[in-house]
Amino acid sequence: MRQSSTEFKTLLLKAGMGADLPLGLSEDLIRPSVWLQACGLEGDVEALYTLHCLDRGISVRGFPELSSQGTISAVVEQRVSAAYLGAQISDALQLGWPNNSSEIVFPSIDSPKIVAAAMVLAHRDLSLDFSIQAVAGELMFCSFESGKEVLVRQHANDGGLHGSRGSDLVIRAKGAIADTTHGDILVDGESEAHLMSHCREKGLNATTEVIRDLQSLASRLLVPETEQSLRFGAGAGIIATD
């Protein structure tokens, strides 16, 4: 189902709030989700899964504690929410995180791709003087120093990494960056510019099932019809955020 990028962003925002994700985090979830979708990396599916994990209590509603080494403690029986972690890492980059060159492993995240996309986009915006890399399943996301380019490669699974959902996310920065020359290039500077232009002009394709489920979450913001609302000319179907 094709939608304009504005329609899709609005739907994601309302679906996030319908899943009781705070407004600011719902807004933060939009950019990496739309970017992934425009790049053909199933941003719609990833965003919906993240919201479903929060809505069903599968993922923790809260920010994991980032230590000085950048690691987080494993969460027993619950996953780390990409909606929270992606926003947290994006903010932490502005404060000098990570402060070393070690490999950082984040366990059991509902959507590592959402976090990886949020991180490399934030890193590029900041034009930092070091490169950063995130490995989510078979995808390697890279953002190079001084905001030059974002690169996504498909590479052979290694290091015990699992699929892109409910799995580990590995982040490397500075001296720990692994070789970025192996694997098929899925997104680079030139292709990204073309994909983003196409997204603005032609909109996005999302599956009918995902749109339906996002609309179901968004519908929780509907204000029920009451005698008082009818008296003042409102009525049912008014969206609380409109």
- In sequence order, the β-bridge partners of residue 139 are 136, 154
Please enumerate in sequence order all residues whose Cβ is within 8 A of that of 204, keeping only pairs 6 or more positions apart, or say none: 2, 3, 4, 5, 8, 34, 37, 38, 44
Alpha helices in 39-173 (DSSP H): 43-55, 82-94, 112-126
Q: What is the pLDDT of residue 177?
A: 83
pLDDT at residue 176, as a whole number: 80
Total tally of structural domains belonging to the chain = 1
If one counts every other C-beta atom within 10 angstroms of the C-beta of residue 57, the result is 10
Confidence at residue 81, expressed as pLDDT on a 0 to 100 scale: 96
What is residue 193's predicted lDDT score, i.e. its pLDDT?
Answer: 94
Res 226: pLDDT: 63
Cβ atoms 113, 139 nearer than 8 A: yes
Question: Domain range spanning residue 226?
Answer: 2-239
Q: Which amino acid is at 69?
A: Q
111-136 b/e with 16+ CB inside 10 Å = b? bbbbbbbbbbbbbbeeebeebbbbbb
Burial class (CB in 10 A: 0-12, 13-18, 19+), 61: middle
The SS3 call for residue 21 is coil
The sign of the torsion formed by the CA atoms of 39, 10, 168, 101 equals positive
Reading the chain (242 residues) residue by residue, the pLDDT tens digits are 788 999 999 999 999 999 999 999 999 999 999 999 999 999 999 999 999 999 999 999 999 877 645 455 444 467 899 999 999 999 999 998 888 777 888 888 999 999 999 999 999 999 998 899 999 988 999 999 877 788 899 876 544 443 344 478 999 988 788 777 778 999 999 999 999 999 999 999 899 999 999 999 999 998 666 666 556 555 545 444 44
Q: Which amino acid is at 85?
A: L
* CA–CA distances in Å: residue 208 to residues 127, 137, 202, 204: 37, 26, 17, 12
pLDDT for 242 equals: 44
CB 149 within 8 A of CB 189: yes
